Amino acid sequence: MALTSTLAFLLATAIVLRLTLFRRRSAVEQVPGPPSSSWLYGNLLDISVCNSWGEHEFEWQRRYGAVYRVKGCFGTNRLMVSDPQALQHILTSSTFSRTPNVQHAATALFGQDSVISVKGVPLSDMTLYLILKNFRVMAGDDHRRARAVMNPAFSSGAMRRLVPLFERTAAMLTSELEESLLSTSQVDMSPALVRATMSAISQAVFGCSLQDLGADLVENHSDLYATFGPRTRANVLLDTLMHYIPLSPEMFNLILPPNVSSALGTSHRLTHELGTRMLKERVRAREKGLEVGSEDGDLFGTFLNSEMSEKGKYFLEKDEIVAQTAVLLLAGQDTTSNSLAFGLRELAKHPQFQKELREEIHSSPLGGGGGSGAAYDSLPLLNAFIKETLRLWPAEPLAESMAVEDTFLPLKFPITLTTGEQITKLPVKKGQLATIAIGSYQRSEAIWGADAQEFRPRRWLDDGELNKAGELPHIGPYANLLTFFAGPRTCLGWRFAVVEMQVLLSELVSKFSFSLPEDDEILPRHAVTLMPLMPSGKKGSPMRVSRVL
């Protein structure tokens, strides 16, 4: 034990010396930014261990601009990036990639063969990849292969076919709220929304109900992000050291707190059992000559069909299909339910808009119950509301990336270095850390106007402002937002999320009215995802709810 501690101490000291004494000089040192709060943590505690997401970040962005420098642990320099051109470069070029700690976290949460954890192939290795691909020996780019198999299941046509399924989920949510309202007028919307989004995913992907998932899995997944997410001082230090010490996923799991690794272990076991059961059922059905991967759901079955396709160059092996179970269940559940919770809170704070939205829904064909995808798309206030919610409350407001080679960051908004020089391209060295500040990009006054911090859905209906956004590089799959990320790692389920939000919000707003309790003390906290947090430290969003119809 004494030897291990001494070795760990010597290694940590060597890393700190390497970071402080032998640091490669870089232009990033001349980028203005806030003073460091401490040598040990730099500004990182202000960013990731703060009470309320953005409490320092938005002020820094106003003061220092769209690209500024913050201090990391041991006096290192990091970039906070909300400049659209620089973001586009980071997210779409092969000169940046995820940091090791983010890669480890993805593997720990979703398993190492899930689409979100498998790695892509660098452009320099593409020729070899293309040769291997034609022989169907595609060890090289597992990420591209998984996306090629999974993308069609999430196409816009496939998502429109899910509208009736989402409407059944919405009706279930209504019944649940009505039942709660028999005994109270104040309802915590978070658990209700978690159950609804989990139910929609399990129906759509696996063709099974919440009950079929099993009570243990439902309970485990309802809180997994909240258990895994919260950042501590120790995490901040470990994340930094992890950039320099190569860790295997197993070693990473060893340094997790016992409650977190136990919750993750349970999730892996239960999702593996579920995926294996679902796969077996579909293999058996196919052996009997039945069709799997039906048109109105069961996206899982469509992955199996890829394995059979003779001409198809892209396929997933059976164990790789099972390995997608956790990510499919988890990635779209917390993100969508928290976005819905933040959206309902905005409606509660803006009663006039809530009333106008309800009138729009009541006077549309949806008012009579039931609609098609096109009917939901044709409601201007509803869609403006969804865009504004996703702009202000991105589920992943911060993401870390690292330059994998010396490169330049192109800038839409020039910056003035501490030397007085104005630049439109910032040179960065291999290993430079850059935070993709999605939340800051989406609240940037330079992009969205002086009221960027305010909830004003009508900005999406205002031609002038949309044209302004049109002058910017086109990033993200939806509304020039980065809420669903961009580039090769763009959210697989973004259309699923948008259609689901359209349907659930139409139902909720048409049938219920929402306001905030007088003692509302919810804060937005970033812990893997952005979530509404109660003073007790638990995720939750209590609201006063009443029936309007």
In the complex, the residues that contact ligand HEM under the rule CB under 6 A are 115-116, 147, 201, 327-328, 331-332, 335-336, 339, 395-396, 399, 483-485, 489, 491-493, 496-497
Packing angle between helix 258-287 and helix 299-308, nearest 10 degrees?
60
Q: How far apart are CA 511 and CA 367, in angstroms?
A: 10
Q: Shortest distance, CB of residue 158 to ligand HEM, whole angstroms?
A: 11
Q: How far apart are CA 443 and CA 438, in angstroms?
A: 9
- Nearer to ligand HEM among residue 65 and residue 100 (C-beta): 100
* CB proximity list for 229: less than 8 A, separation 6 or greater: 526, 527, 528, 529, 531
- Nearer to ligand HEM among residue 306 and residue 336 (C-beta): 336
- Nearer to ligand HEM among residue 480 and residue 483 (C-beta): 483
> By beta-carbon distance, which residue lies closest to ligand HEM?
493
3-state secondary structure of 488: helix
Phi, psi (degrees; rounded to nearest 5) at 64: -110, -10
User: How much helix, strand and coil, in percent to the nearest 5, is found in the chain?
Assistant: 55, 10, 30
- Nearer to ligand HEM among residue 148 and residue 181 (C-beta): 148
Q: Shortest distance, CB of residue 531 to ligand HEM, whole angstroms?
A: 12
Evaluated on CA atoms 396, 101, 400, 32, the torsion sign reads: positive
- Tell me the HSE value of 345 on the side-chain side, using a 13 A CA sphere: 25
H/E stretch holding 440: helix 438-442
Q: Shortest distance, CB of residue 376 to ligand HEM, whole angstroms?
A: 16
The first and second tokens of residue 54, run together, are: 């953005």
Q: Shortest distance, CB of residue 272 to ligand HEM, whole angstroms?
A: 17
Q: Shortest distance, CB of residue 20 to ligand HEM, whole angstroms?
A: 30
- Nearer to ligand HEM among residue 68 and residue 496 (C-beta): 496
50 in a known ligand binding site: no
- Nearer to ligand HEM among residue 141 and residue 507 (C-beta): 141
* Cβ atoms 266, 220 nearer than 8 A: yes
Q: What is the dihedral of CA 254, 259, 264, 270, to 10 degrees?
A: 130
Q: Shortest distance, CB of residue 495 to ligand HEM, whole angstroms?
A: 9
Binding residues: 491
Please give the annotated binding residues for heme, written as ranges: 491
